């Protein structure tokens, strides 16, 4: 499963990508707007941190097919390993179909049904991003929708991965890992919730205390 960071905050990306083996960074217009930096500068900064082999996903603002195509080509040319996020409106789907023929990497986004995900995959998107928490918030079944989409993509052998997005807690991620989701994009707080446990820290403290009681303060296995 690919683990992607859903943030545009360069300090967080630096810190977390030093610790975790991340497989990419996703942004959207809301995420970018929080950083108060010029879009192209921000993508360049993120690229510097993660390196050219790690994908960055960034989203178009245009809503008409021809404009989406133009904007997508601009974003795609910003660096190697750039994925252009396109919402799955009807204009978006039309653009995905054309852009994927031209070899542009597309991440279809703002997906709320398995049908939309299927259509985007069929149009040539390399990733399809269903919004788990936004579905849960409207009393729909975020995890169930992603599960359906994973089965559809695998069953028909699409060259496409389900990139589950929009998380509010680590439990949602765990449930998707159980159903074999291909990739998840998580904000920094959820990455930390997946990584940290107070009992791990407590256990480490206890090991050190026991060792130092027996062998003296500051001693280690190698001295
Ligand atoms: C990422 O690709 C999505 O744009 C993002 O996960 C949406 O998250 P939100 O629902 O928390 O805004």
Other beta carbons within 10 Å of 175 = 17
Question: Taking 90 as the threshold, does the pLDDT of residue 19 lie above it?
Answer: yes
CA of 206 to the centre of ligand 1 (A): 39
Give the residue, out of 2, 117, 165, 170, with the most ligand 1 atoms within 8 A of its beta carbon, to mutate for a pocket test.
Answer: 165
Q: Distance from the CA of 164 to the center of ligand 1, in angstroms? A: 9
pLDDT, one tens digit per residue, over 47-60 is 999 999 999 999 99
Least Cα distance to 2 among 139, 183, 220 occurs for 183
State residue 223's pLDDT score. Answer: 87
User: Contact 121/153 with Cβ under 8 angstroms?
Assistant: yes
Distance 159 CA to ligand 1 centre (A): 23
Instruction: Give the CATH architecture of domain 2-194.
Output: Alpha-Beta Barrel (3.20)
The verdict on the CB of residue 26 being under 6 Å from ligand 1 is yes
**195 with 20: CB under 8 angstroms?**
yes
Please tell me if the CB atom of residue 131 comes closer than 6 angstroms to any atom of ligand 1. yes
Pairing of strands 2-6, 183-186: parallel
Partners of 184 in beta bridges: 3, 164
Q: Whose CA is nearest to atom 7 of ligand 1?
A: 166
Residue nearest to atom 4 of ligand 1 (CA): 28
| Domains of the chain, residue spans | 2-194
> How high is the pLDDT of residue 138?
97
Residue range 101-124, pLDDT digits in tens:
999 999 999 999 999 999 999 999
pLDDT of 121: 98
Instruction: Residue 182: name the closest of 152, 154, 162 by CA.
Output: 162
131 CA to centre of ligand 1 in angstroms? 7
Would you say the CB of residue 129 lies under 6 angstroms from ligand 1? yes
| pLDDT score at 96 | 98
Task: Please give the Cα distance from 3 to 185 (Å, whole number).
Answer: 6
Q: What is the CA radius of gyration of the chain?
A: 20
Taking the C-alpha atoms of residue 119 and residue 42, their distance in angstroms, rounded to an integer, is 31
Q: What is the pLDDT of residues 136-187, one digit of tens each?
A: 999 999 999 999 999 999 999 999 999 999 999 999 999 999 999 999 999 9
Question: pLDDT for 195-220, tens place per residue?
Answer: 999 999 999 999 999 999 999 999 99
Whole-structure pTM value: 0.96
Bridge partner residues of 56 (DSSP): 25, 82
Q: What span, in angstroms and rounded, lies between the C-alpha atoms of 107 and 111?
A: 11
Whether 136 is in the pocket of ligand 1, judged by its Cβ within 6 Å, is no
Q: Give the mean model confidence (pLDDT) for residues 54-73.
A: 98
Rounded CA separation 38/36 (Å): 7
Q: What is the pLDDT of residue 65?
A: 98
The owner of tokens 């918030």 is 137
Confidence (pLDDT) at 97:
98
pLDDT at residue 117, as a whole number: 98
**Catalytic positions, written as ranges:** 85
CA 100 to chain centroid: 20
């Amino acid at each position: 499963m690919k683990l992607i960071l859903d943030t545009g905050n360069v300090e967080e990306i630096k810190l977390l990508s030093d610790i975790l083996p991340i497989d990419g960074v996703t942004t959207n217009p809301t995420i970018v707007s929080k950083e108060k930096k010029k879009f192209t500068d921000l993508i360049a900064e993120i690229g510097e941190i993660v390196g050219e082999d790690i994908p960055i996903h960034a989203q178009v603002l245009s809503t008409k097919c021809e404009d989406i195509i133009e904007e997508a080509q601009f974003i795609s040319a910003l660096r190697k390993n750039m994925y252009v996020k396109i919402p799955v409106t009807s204009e978006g789907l039309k653009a995905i179909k054309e852009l994927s023929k031209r070899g542009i990497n597309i991440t279809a986004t703002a997906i709320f049904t398995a049908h939309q995900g299927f259509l985007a995959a069929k149009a040539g998107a390399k990733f399809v991003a269903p919004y788990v928490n936004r579905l849960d918030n409207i009393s729909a079944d975020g995890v169930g929708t992603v599960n359906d989409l994973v089965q559809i993509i695998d069953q028909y052998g699409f060259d496409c991965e389900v990139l589950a997005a929009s998380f509010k807690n680590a439990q949602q991620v765990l449930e998707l890992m159980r159903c074999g989701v291909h990739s998840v994009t998580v904000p920094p707080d959820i990455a930390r919730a997946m990584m940290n446990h107070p009992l791990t820290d407590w256990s480490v403290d206890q090991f050190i205390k026991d060792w130092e009681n027996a062998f003296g303060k500051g001693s280690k296995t190698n001295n």
